[in-house]
């Protein structure tokens, strides 16, 4: 039976902002605006951390024109947070919900945000308060299980593919100047973003030539052999490396400059790029440098995948539909269909299966030596990045004859 009760909805954004996270917010707000079962539409100001301080924004009072503009705006318009719930927080959150008659929560975020949503749903049940909580997937890391992919990934993947192509063009123009280049990507424990740097690679000589992903332990001797072999064959080497790659003992290569941990005890690393540059210089006596796109890979508005934006909007909209159908303690998922052409529908997965879990890069997406992606990865990722990547022409090496 359809839900006919009334109540207020609370929408929040959490974790690392992306180029399309606002599309999920817009999808949820626009769905809520047209449904008579929803009274107030509230936004968490700076995620659950702000909500615990009763810092909320009245989204019904915003001009309607705002939502079409936010659809094209990167970053988290409500403000975001990286806050791990402490003792007493969930009970306090439910009491705030009681006072403001909040009956529905849509929380947009990744693994840690899914854990927050799960804990809120459980607390409401234990405290006998009717509250429906749905998690809306978002992460450039693309590591949430039970969904084909995550909103945010397609745009970050597009950025990294183009950035790798463009940066490599500079290296190719004067290869003896800095013959070894490291491009450092985000991704925490999963190699999805590092793999995306290869999406513009069309032949063996194209960059990147070596991928270093978190799923594979780094062996310095093997790496140096690979660099030397590519250098002899191509004349320069472009390496895409995840910031979190670890050595054979499990120690992150960027741990030397570690500056602590975040609220969820994820290490805040200086990154692997400097270590790799120093290693190449010392052992191979080759000049080397690195590019670190940093936040640009999450936030570059000029590289947004329209497919990614549309799907981010879709999961936000579907979250409201699920809440009004009395679904709770669930996450919206994207379900891929390849026929007659690529498109996605949505599903639901229990948060008990998702909270604090990670989906790593599958073995079939990597070559036998684990340093490059296979055609299966191209088939998976190319539909997510929107328009085809550019093809750069090359001048044929036809020498002038006397």
Pick the more confident residue, 141 or 356: 141
Beta carbons of 16 and 139 less than 8 angstroms apart: yes
Element (H, E) at 228: helix 220-234
Q: What is the CA radius of gyration of the chain?
A: 23
The CA distance from 244 to 65, in Å, is 41
Q: Is the pLDDT of residue 265 over 80?
A: no
Tokens 């979250």 identify what position? 319
Q: Is 335 helix (H, G, I), strand (E, B) or coil?
A: strand
Element (H, E) at 291: strand 288-291
**Averaged pLDDT of the chain:** 94
Q: Is the pLDDT of residue 268 over 70?
A: no
Q: Is the pLDDT of residue 295 over 50?
A: yes
What is the average pLDDT across 133-146?
97
Q: What pLDDT is attached to residue 357? A: 85
How does DSSP classify residue 289?
E
The CA distance from 372 to 370, in Å, is 6
Q: What pLDDT is attached to residue 188? A: 83
Beta carbons of 379 and 342 less than 8 angstroms apart: no
Q: Is 144 helix (H, G, I), strand (E, B) or coil?
A: coil
The CA distance from 21 to 118, in Å, is 20
Neighbours of 47 (CB within 10 A): 25
Of 296, 291, 246, 243, nearest in space to 271 by CA: 243
Q: Which residues are catalytic?
A: 141
Q: What pLDDT is attached to residue 376? A: 98
Model confidence at 1, in pLDDT bands (50, 70, 90)?
A: very low
Q: What pLDDT is attached to residue 263? A: 56
What is the average pLDDT across 53-77?
97
Q: What's the predicted TM-score (pTM) here?
A: 0.94
Neighbours of 91 (CB within 10 A): 11
Domains and CATH numbers, the chain: 7-151+302-353 (3.40.50.450), 156-300+360-385 (3.40.50.460)
């Amino acid at each position: 039976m359809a839900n006919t009760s009334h109540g207020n909805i609370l929408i929040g954004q959490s974790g690392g902002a992306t180029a399309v996270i606002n599309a999920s917010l817009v999808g949820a707000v626009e769905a809520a605006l047209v449904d008579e079962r929803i009274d107030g539409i509230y936004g968490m100001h700076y995620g659950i951390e702000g909500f615990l301080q009763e810092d909320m924004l009245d989204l019904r009072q915003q001009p309607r024109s705002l939502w079409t503009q936010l659809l094209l705006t990167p970053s988290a318009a409500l403000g975001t947070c990286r806050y791990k719930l402490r003792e007493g927080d969930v009970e306090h959150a439910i009491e705030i919900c009681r006072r403001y008659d909040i009956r529905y929560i849509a929380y947009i975020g990744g693994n840690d945000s899914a854990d927050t949503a799960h804990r809120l749903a459980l607390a409401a049940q234990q405290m006998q308060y009717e509250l429906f909580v749905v998690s809306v997937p978002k992460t450039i890391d693309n590591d949430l299980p039970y969904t084909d992919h995550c909103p945010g990934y397609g745009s970050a993947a597009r950025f990294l593919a183009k950035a790798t192509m463009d940066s490599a063009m500079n290296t190719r123009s004067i290869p003896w100047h800095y013959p070894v280049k490291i491009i450092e990507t985000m991704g925490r424990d999963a190699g999805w973003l590092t793999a995306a740097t290869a999406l513009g690679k069309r032949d063996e000589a194209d960059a990147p030539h070596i991928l270093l992903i978190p799923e594979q332990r780094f062996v310095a001797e093997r790496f140096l052999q690979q660099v030397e072999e590519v250098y002899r064959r191509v004349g320069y080497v472009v390496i895409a490396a995840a910031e979190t790659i670890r050595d054979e003992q499990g120690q992150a290569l960027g741990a030397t400059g570690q500056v602590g941990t975040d609220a969820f005890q994820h290490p805040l690393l200086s990154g692997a790029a400097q270590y790799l540059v120093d290693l190449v210089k010392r052992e191979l006596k080759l000049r080397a440098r690195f590019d670190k796109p940093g936040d640009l890979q999450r936030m570059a508005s000029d590289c947004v995948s329209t497919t990614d934006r549309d799907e981010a909007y879709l999961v936000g909209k579907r979250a409201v539909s699920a809440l009004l159908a009395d679904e709770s303690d669930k996450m919206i998922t994207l379900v891929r269909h390849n026929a007659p052409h690529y498109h996605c529908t949505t599903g639901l997965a229990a948060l008990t299966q998702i909270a604090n879990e990670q989906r790593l890069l599958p073995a079939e997406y990597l070559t036998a030596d684990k340093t490059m992606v296979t055609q299966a990865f191209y088939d998976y990722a190319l539909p997510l990045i929107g328009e085809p990547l550019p093809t750069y022409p090359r001048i044929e090496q036809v020498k002038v004859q006397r």
